[in-house]
Structure 1
Amino acid sequence: MSIFSSTCLTDPRFICHGFLLPILLLLLQISSQLGDCGTIVKYLPGFQGPLPFLLETGYIGVGENDDVQSFYYFIESENNPREDPLMLWLTGGPGCSAFSGLVYEIGPLAFQVDEYDGGLPSLVYKPNSWTKVSSIVFVDVPVNTGFSYARTEFASQRSDSLSVSQAHQFLRKWIMDHPEFLKNKVYIAGDSYSGMHVPIIADEISKANERGLQPWINLQGYLMGNPVINRNEKNYAIPFAHGMGLISDELYKSLQKHCKGEYVNVDMRNVLCSRDVNSFDEITSGIDSANILEPNCEFATQKPLESSWRRSLTDNYPAKFKDTHLRLPSRNCRTYGYLLSAYWANDNKVRNALNVRKGTKKKWKRCTKNMPYKYDISSNFPYQVNLSRKGYRSLIYSGDHDMIVPFLATQAWIRSLNYSIVDDWRPWYTNGQVAGYTRTYSNAMTFATVKGGGHTAPEYKPPECFHMYSRWISGGLFKKEKYR
């Protein structure tokens, strides 16, 4: 293995966040929980045999006096870690654990979805992992998400600007602790609500590099899946629903007439618009907005573990989810698999294996809904303009059956960047079949749809999204004649 536990303790050029090396070595002998460096995890409860990839977990202190302790899962590239890119992955929400992205989307582990019998859920190896071509750091952001925690009440504050700042600090400190990755190409990535933060983090890294802040990060670009850009995505959910045949021509025309394209911040004095929006909500209430092709399932769990929505971005829960007599979803429902992560992560054997600090997290939740959070960034559009001017690459992908952040919304803000088209709209292929459609722009931006994909596209279409990512990260384009 090329990465060792507590790497930062073994390289005299790097000191663990201000502590003297000899003192840390002594403390390490006393307690493995002291110090911010990671530990290699060779075995995980629920997985048969040793892990076939390198997993490191740990904490990095960020914020004032390191009072925010950010938990991470690092998986080294299964190909060529010294040459392959390094990705920082943020899961959306805000408030969803990075573990959700690891196990349900782009990582090499998945739960075996069997009927829960009270034991520990089983994990299996996933072949379409993005770690086949890159090393990935999955970090629990914001504070108190997943296994991250705050040492003080003040440090428990959460906001867009704090999430950006802490993710930036985290990455610089992580690279300082892992100097073998100083030369690797770096990408910032995430989906859903983390799309609000990803370009801003990349822009902050770029500016800090220009100022000479160390360590220098070899930033190359960013990736976003079905990203939230300005929280006005519902303005495109209604034309999307009409195009997909979910609402009638008459209702759509009435919505256009009375609301004039503004369906999010509806003036309550506009009675006719409010009426039409309520009609839309009622008509589509039986649809799974994350993927309109999927069954609309119950989203509950047995006590003492609480349920968690796919993304806390979707706070408009159907009435049946608020019933005090909730039922478990069917095993055939995708939501059933989400229950397994809570049963697994709240097991003491699992926490010990992951080196979670005792007493720091009473209950792990995949997504923490309704947490106090300050939405203090209205749009990341200016940051994307800055990145485009500097020539950074970007991949923007959309599961084309997502009604939470429809591809129409993503296409609209990409058009507003007003960059010329280099390669026009065309299909891209996987295994000889159309996997989606793509277009590239003069600002080094690639947009791609994932046919049949939902809000978290890699969750629904793992092979297709892996092929999409591996081609793009290697510098390739989605050319029909090459990939058909």
Structure 2
Amino acid sequence: MIVGMKSRLHLLLVFLIGIKSVASQSIVESLPGYAGTLPFTLETGYIGVGENDEVQLFYYFIESENEPTRDPLLLWLNGGPGCSAFSGLVYEIGPLAFDIENFDGSLPSFILNPYSWTKVANIIFLDYPVGTGFSYSNTSKGYPSSDTKSTQHNYTFLRKWLLAHPAFLKNRLFVSGDSYGGYIVPMVALQIAKGNEAGLQPIMSLKGYIIGNPLTDEDSDANEKIPYAHRMALISDKQFEQARSSCNGEYVNPDPNNIQCLFALSIINERTKLINGAHILEPKCKFLSPKPSDSRRFLVDVPVDLLSLSNRNELKCRNMRYATSYVWANDETVREALHIRKGTITDWTRCNKSLSYEYDIESAFEYHQILSDRGFQALVYSGDHDMDIPYMATLKWIRKLNVSLEDEWRAWNVDGQVAGYTEMYKNNQASIIFATVKGAGHTAPEYKPKECLEMIKRWLSLYPL
């Protein structure tokens, strides 16, 4: 009787949102590169979005290794735009990581990540927008995307996913991601909130969102790079003061007739050109491919054919380590294990730079303000050695929100050591926790996995950092 009632409820919900087809999903018990059965539950699949389901979004879903029925559900959105969720899974917060030390160019092996966020949460890793990872379109007209379009697709994906997984409808839901996800995460969260208010089914248990090293306003974020470089002793007091005074604190789009400002900026550019923006203490590798002209894309990728495995020192370059994902994801046995549809993606790339994508949202600030006003919780964290999106830029827009400071700047510790610094802001029922992660770069969990797991564990448990 109970099963019958659940089936009728499921059919009713399908009818209510007009789903044309049920999600395609498969449980994956083993993967090439990992010996034996996976010690966690992994599901992969596709969900169609768009007018005629022409866009097929691919996902990896990993159940919590703790209590799946009670632990929160996270939708994880990587940056780029166009960087596969698989990158977040194996290089940041998932339970598997590549054995970099023993990688020789053949199919890489996996090791378990003891600091996976699946220790405390269920996580959907979504390949978005269309053309990212294993997500594809049935028609050429389905490939062009944008901030607003991909947000709508992600929202539709989540509605359909929850209908196909009704057991997770009551789990606390958090939209999460990093880098360019700083734009999309709050947009998706607000879309969910509006859908709930409009009574669209299924009603989602949205509690808040999580963003790391987030891009929020392109010009404002970039404008803090020079003050950050000064604070981190990359430029001198004199060089910074010359730029500050002659440019009036505006460094991104200087007046072309302001010769003093242009000269000051050229000096600073010369002093910092060999600094790795993603992590100022790590080498800027000679094999890095050129950045696209659009400065919003912060995650630089590297072609596999540039990898020289004869020199083991090259693997010390973080970007070169990403070659493991290329080799693995383009292996035919891997695609069979993941249940990838044949003929849909010929060459998998970690970050697709050839997307047809329109950047149609200038700033995500208003989305944060609206979400705060509606009482949602937010965790915003920044690796403090990231110069691409300096923590100072993130803290600056948080302080502009209609919030009041509740907990002043203080250290948060892990195992008796300072793991970073934190502040808490409140607005009625809403709270925003800001945290730096000491020593981390652009995608903080990649550099400090232990500290980041403790951070998310405490925040999800409503425990102070």
Among 10, 13, 17, the alignment partner of 1:14 is 10
**Structure 2 counterpart of 1:60:** 47
SS at match of 2:76: strand
SS at match of 1:330: helix
Among 339, 364, 367, the alignment partner of 1:355 is 339
Do structure 1's residue 148 and structure 2's residue 123 form an aligned pair? Answer: no
**Structure 2 counterpart of 1:4:** none
SS at match of 2:252: coil
Report the CA distance between 1:280 and its aligned residue.
Answer: 2.2
SS at match of 1:64: coil
Query: Is the 8 Å Cα contact of residues 299 and 308 (structure 1) preserved in structure 2?
Result: no
Distance in 1, matches of 2:306 and 2:329, equals 25
Do structure 1's residue 131 and structure 2's residue 115 form an aligned pair? Answer: no
**Structure 2 counterpart of 1:181:** 168
**Structure 2 counterpart of 1:482:** none
**Structure 2 counterpart of 1:29:** none
Greater mean deviation of Cα atoms: 382-391 or 123-132: 382-391
Report the CA distance between 1:238 and its aligned residue.
Answer: 0.5
Do structure 1's residue 194 and structure 2's residue 181 form an aligned pair? Answer: yes
Shift of the 90–422 alpha-carbon distance from structure 1 to 2, 3 Å rule, reads same
Report the CA distance between 1:79 and its aligned residue.
Answer: 0.4
Do structure 1's residue 273 and structure 2's residue 261 form an aligned pair? Answer: yes
Give ranges in structure 2 of 5+ residues lacking alignment: none
SS at match of 1:38: strand
Do structure 1's residue 120 and structure 2's residue 104 form an aligned pair? Answer: no
Shift of the 278–52 alpha-carbon distance from structure 1 to 2, 3 Å rule, reads same
Report the CA distance between 1:418 and its aligned residue.
Answer: 3.9
**Structure 2 counterpart of 1:235:** 223
Do structure 1's residue 342 and structure 2's residue 330 form an aligned pair? Answer: no
Report the CA distance between 1:272 and its aligned residue.
Answer: 3.0
Same amino acid, percent of matched pairs: 52
Among 154, 165, 187, the alignment partner of 2:152 is 165
SS at match of 2:283: coil
**Structure 2 counterpart of 1:249:** 237
Query: Is the 8 Å Cα contact of residues 414 and 451 (structure 2) preserved in structure 1?
Result: yes
Distance in 1, matches of 2:224 and 2:247, equals 13
Alignment of 1:333-412 (within 5 A): 333-412=317-396
Query: Is the 8 Å Cα contact of residues 131 and 355 (structure 2) preserved in structure 1?
Result: no
SS at match of 2:180: helix
TM-score (norm 1): 0.87
Distance in 2, matches of 1:257 and 1:363, equals 49
| CA deviation profile, 1:168-219 (whole Å, cap 9, x unmatched) | 1111110011000111110000000110111111111101101000000000
Shift of the 293–261 alpha-carbon distance from structure 1 to 2, 3 Å rule, reads same
Do structure 1's residue 423 and structure 2's residue 423 form an aligned pair? Answer: no
| CA deviation profile, 1:218-240 (whole Å, cap 9, x unmatched) | 00000110101111212001000
Report the CA distance between 1:353 and its aligned residue.
Answer: 0.4
Tell me which amino acid in the other structure corresponds to 2:119.
K
Shift of the 450–276 alpha-carbon distance from structure 1 to 2, 3 Å rule, reads same
Report the CA distance between 1:16 and its aligned residue.
Answer: 11
Query: Is the 8 Å Cα contact of residues 213 and 443 (structure 2) preserved in structure 1?
Result: yes
Report the CA distance between 1:370 and its aligned residue.
Answer: 4.8
**Structure 2 counterpart of 1:27:** none
Shift of the 416–18 alpha-carbon distance from structure 1 to 2, 3 Å rule, reads closer
SS at match of 1:39: strand
**Structure 2 counterpart of 1:438:** 422
Query: Is the 8 Å Cα contact of residues 308 and 368 (structure 1) preserved in structure 2?
Result: no
The root-mean-square deviation of aligned C-alpha atoms, in Å, is: 2.6
Distance in 1, matches of 2:111 and 2:80, equals 26
Give ranges in structure 1 of 5+ residues lacking alignment: 1-6, 25-33, 301-305, 479-484
Alignment of 1:67-78 (within 5 A): 67-78=54-65
Tell me which amino acid in the other structure corresponds to 1:255.
A
Query: Is the 8 Å Cα contact of residues 312 and 369 (structure 1) preserved in structure 2?
Result: no
TM-score (norm 2): 0.91
